[in-house]
Structure 1
Amino acid sequence: MDDLEIFQRLGIALAIGLLFGLERGRHQRDKSEGDRIAGVRTFAIAGLLGGVNGWVASLTAAVVLAGAFLGLSVLLGVSYWLRLKKDDDVGLTTEIALLLAFSLGAASVLGNMPAAAAVAVITAFLLSMKKRLHRWVARIKRLELEAFLKLGLLSIVILPILPDQGYGPGAALNPYQIWWAVVLVAGLSFFGYAAIRLGGARLGLLMTGLFGGLASSTSTTLALARLVRVETDLVSHAAAGVVIAGSVTFLRILMLVAVFHSSLVVPLAIPMSVMAGFGLAGAGFLWFPARGVEEGQERLEGLENPLELSAALAFGALLAAVLLAVHTLRTWMGSSGVYAAAALSGVTDVDALTISMAKLVGDDMATTNGATAIFIAAAVNTVVKAGISFAVGGSALGLRVGLVYASVITAGAVSLWLFGLGG
């Protein structure tokens, strides 16, 4: 390194320390000067100390840097022990931040400067988020924490050990690919569920519909229909939420086909986008005339945690059943058998059919047949949600949702014919 580069790297080390010091100084601004653990100057020196020791280590041996880090750790350990004797409720965040400032200062001299700076910014951001993070943690239920850990179990532990080869009739069942689909759908569902839990009722029924569509548009429809039974004044708000949830489903279908077979995106992009567009426009038409009505604050209990292992296994079994059904019906009846399987699948779940079609297209099925089957499943599923709105929410909700969904399906069918098939 030449002199200019050394000064640049040491400058980054100093800047990292100053960044940490500004955040910690603001955090401890209400304490008197003698009671503060470390402020701007201490953190700036710690960052610069790491940079200087990294520089010296590059000229001599790595043991120099290791010794300096050990010495700083011992010093901070003694400081923490002395404070612990005065106060039995003492945190370690500032001490750890000092060690990290030292380490990032050394990394900025010895390694990648942009990476060290990026880690410093992210760390400072996390330090500044203390109260908000604590509020979020306080709102997490035990079952939700377990659900997050189960997602890790599904994706990190189970997925890598599954065989990536086909079994059964027509080699239709690939354990690895089926479980990867389970992980993807469960992850999307959990994201939507977590967004609703974090946002709460104060975000309103529109946001509930948006994130509920990621979690489960059918469950969201059922939850909002039940709400209308209690809060009849919210029928227009609830109808808009239901339609938004259904519209998100069409975008979710595009996301799944993009992951599992990108060639399906071309024939489905316009029809699914048109259906989502008509749905969102219909939701706006339902919402704006009633936007002045006070929103209910009841928590929507119809959406349950989607990451129970039983739910994941059930979806995996459903996906396997759909794959076998599509293969069997296609063998017996050709394309019409595929469409029959799509209609049956759409009654319960559109994700399983979407993924199964994406796996078959290109191998032994035409792209247009796969796109048509996915559209049929989406249309049937949309009709089912309109029926739920009628049966559970009553005619006021059902008519609003049904009229919008009728236009959605019609527009989707026309666009599929013109652009997906005829184009």
Structure 2
Amino acid sequence: MSADPDSRSLHHSRVSSQSETQSRSQPLPATPDFDAWPVEVAITAIDHDPQILNVTWQDGSQSRYHSIWLRENAADDSTVNPATRERILDLSRLEAWPTIEHAKLEANGAITIDFLPERRRLSFHPGWLRAHDYANLVEHELPLVPRTLWLGSDREEPTTLDATGWMERDHDATSVDSLPKQALEAVIGEGLVRLRNLPTAPGSLDAIARRIGPPRPTNFGNLFDVRAKPDPDSNAYTSLALPPHVDLPTREYQPGLQLLHCLENDTVGGEAVMMDGFAVAEALRERHPAHFATLTRVRWCYANTARTSDYVWFDPMIKLDARGEFDEVRIADFLRGPLMAPFDDVEPAYAALMTLQSLLREPEFALRFSYAPGDLVIFDNRRLLHARDAFDVSQGGSRWLQGCYLERDEARSRLRMLKRAERQARLEDA
């Protein structure tokens, strides 16, 4: 099957002035998902040829959609399972390339299309179409939350929210709740948030974490205790200072989020230290571009060879995504194994490493703060570096944090659900 551009003919449809706004008497069609799509901009006109639908919006912008894309993203029960909204259509089973025979702009603002070769009439929701305008990706493709790089010297404390009573409030996947929305926006945008006045019962972190998503178990368990203990299997379980690092860079997919929940803290010292690893990497790129390029290319060995486990992974210290944006950093000196790089890369790699290590000691990057019982910090473990000042246990007192890991996916999913609930509430109030 293939599209035949030479066979295209042009058809037009324009809504009358009396029906430019959505008719309340005629419901809009379903969408191929469970989300709510407000119609913030109405469609004023459409035209089409067999392979392309052109849409003109009330604000003057124009969108284009391929016939094959529209056919695959319809919401009827020949395309998606209405119970799960998962696609059941197999395009290769159609007799020929799907084309548009006729398109009509309905009074309620939806678009109805007759498709060949099936002779199937399908309707499309205008709010959904606007949100999925792939012909204008530069204009419309926005991140879930804009990313903000920061320096510790520019702030006195993390973004901090009062969580008093949060765990006592009713919760379900469709509820509108401003606290987790603000918290997740901070985590996704800045990499860090602190919640205060949460319960301090041991183990309560599990229920707190599940307000976002299921914890990720590791060899340290679902929850782990961060406090000095005899016979430690990690430097974290001592009173020693810890250098800036991410956790578990030894894994193929290091945990996306880390939660640290303070249950007790009346020791001397032990301040938390956080720094934006992406801001450090950006500073390296600006000041030492050759070293930056080396650390995005050379694969370092990360190893955690404990008594009962042996985790090893090789990856660059700074990773970029397909668009060249920062995706993650893997910085943890105490978890690096021997560098196994090509011979000519070894000296440049160490030169770049030492330059990065010097940057990490610059005070402008570090944000220091103390934990109080009931505090919870949530941070992006693939972006933020965390550290700790040494604390003194010789004079009594205790410092007890419980921690767990989640995935970035859980935070993004939960935030999308909260935004969906907000949109649905606005539609119901309209």
TM-score, with normalisation over the residues of structure 2?
Answer: 0.28
Q: Please identify the structure whose Cα radius of gyration is greater.
A: 1
As a proportion of its length, which structure holds more strand?
Answer: 2
Higher relative contact order structure (alpha carbons within 8 Å, sequence separation ≥ 6): 2
As a proportion of its length, which structure holds more helix?
Answer: 1
